[in-house]
Copies of this chain bind each other. A is one copy, B any other.
C-alpha cells in the first residue's frame, strides 16, 4: 500500500478523535470584534500552539497589539517546496442568540437536510473546522510516515473577523520567516456538497460606519417634530440614493476599473448547474436584487456591490418613544472587483455623504478596512496539481470559481510576501457563516482532511 493510502486510512480511522479535537477548539468563545472576549482569543491561540506542538511542529503564539498570531513550522523535508498554510481562529459574534437551535459554543453533531451529518456551532465553517482539516492531514502524515511531504509553515490569525488590523505590520515584520513557495488559504467553499472548487477571483471589501449628527441632543417629536432635522430621515434619504432604479450604485466614479467578464467566462458560468431560483429560494427569496440585466452569478462573482450591514438610531427598545434623536448610524460595505480603487471609493463615499446632507448636519466616519479585489493566475502549476488531487478525492473535477466574499490576506501575501495563494476550502453556501446555526458538514471536515493529505503529496 502507498504511503498516501495509509494516511487516508488513518484519517478515516481517526475521524472521531479528530472531531473531538475540533469540538475542544470550537468551545473557546474567540469572538475577535468584542473586547470582552480578548482572553478567549488568547486561549484559542494557546490551544492551537499546544496541538501543533503535539504533532511535531515548532509553534508559538506571537503577541500583537490585537489578538495573537499562531506561527508554526515543520521544515524537515529536504528538496521539497515550502507551503504557508493560512487560517483564522477567531469567529463572528453570535447575536441574535435566541435564534440558535443549539448554544453557539456547545458544538454538536446534528442531522441536516437529506440526512447529512453536520457539526453545528459558531466557527465550524468559518474558520475553525476548515483550518483543522489541514492540521488533521498533517497529523495523519506524521503518524504514518514520521514526516510531511512538503515543508509547512502555518499562520493562524485571530483578527480576520474584525478587519485584521495587526496583519500587515506582522507580515512585514515576519516577512522572511513566513516566505514560502505558495500560500494555501482554506477560508473558501465548495461548489456543492459533492463538488470541490478552487477559488480564482475574490472581491475586495470596504467597510464604513457613517453617523449623521443633527441636533445637539435628543428632542421630543411633539415639541420639535418636522421643524428640527431628523437624522434618521437624513440617513434614509442618503442610503436610498446610493442605488438607482436599476440597482446600480450611484457614487460618482464607482464603476471605474470594473472589467466586463469575457464572453468565454460568461458562457462557462451559464453552463454551470446553477439555479437562481434554488439559490434564492433556499433563503426564502425569489427576485434577484442587484443590477438589472445581470445574472445572479454575475452579481455575486463579478460585480461590485454596496450593502447596508447595520443601521440604528433613536429608540429601539420595546414600545415607543417619541424622540427625534441627535444622531443615527449605518454600517455600509462595498465589495470591489477588478481594478476598483478602494481609497478612491472611500473618498467618493465620504464626499457624497457630506455633499448631500443639510448644512446644519454633520457626518462622521469610522473606517473598518478597505482592500481591493484579487484575480489569481489560472496557469499556476500548483493550481493544476491541486485540481487533480481534488478530483481524485471527490470523483469530480474542481470548479474554478470566482467568489463574492473577500479574503484580504491573499492580497497581502501577493504584495508583502510576493507569493501566490491557492484557495481551497470545503464550506458550503448553506453553512450559515456569520448567522445563527452555523454548521460545517461532517463530510467537509472528513474529506477536507483527506483532500489536504492528497494536495500535500502532489505539491511535493
Contact = CB atoms under 8 A, between A and B. Distances in A.
Interface stretch (A8-16, A70-78, A252-260, A401-409): A401-409
Given A215-B284, A229-B285, A300-B225, A312 B311 contact: yes
Contacts of A162: 319-320
A30 to B, nearest CB: 14
Interface in A189-226: 203, 205, 207, 209, 214-226
Interface stretch (A129-137, A138-146, A240-248): A240-248
A173 interface: no
Residue of A95, A233, A235, A405 most packed against chain B (CB within 10 A)? A233
Contacts of A328: 311
Contact of A299 (B216, B226, B324): B226
Contact of A315 (B285, B331, B406): B331
B320 A307 contact: no
Given A217-B283, A218-B436, A33 B225 contact: no
A21 to B, nearest CB: 26
B310 A321 contact: yes
A178 interface: no
Contacts of A229: 285, 287, 289
B33 A318 contact: yes
A219 B435 contact: yes
Interface string A250-288: 000000000000000000000000000001100111111
A232 B311 contact: yes
Interface stretch (A113-121, A382-390, A426-434, A446-454): A426-434
A313 interface: yes
B406 A283 contact: no
A258 to B, nearest CB: 13
Contacts of A323: 309-310, 434-435
Most buried by B among A232, A322, A358: A322
Contacts of A243: 233
Nearest to A433: B220
Interface in A314-335: 314-325, 328, 330-331, 333, 335
Given A227-B279, A310-B313, 14 more contacts: A162-B320, A215-B283, A216-B283, A222-B404, A233-B239, A233-B240, A233-B243, A233-B289, A236-B308, A236-B311, A284-B360, A308-B313, A308-B314, A320-B368
15 contacts: A33-B320, A33-B321, A93-B317, A218-B435, A221-B305, A221-B335, A222-B403, A223-B404, A287-B358, A309-B322, A309-B323, A309-B324, A311-B316, A322-B405, A323-B435
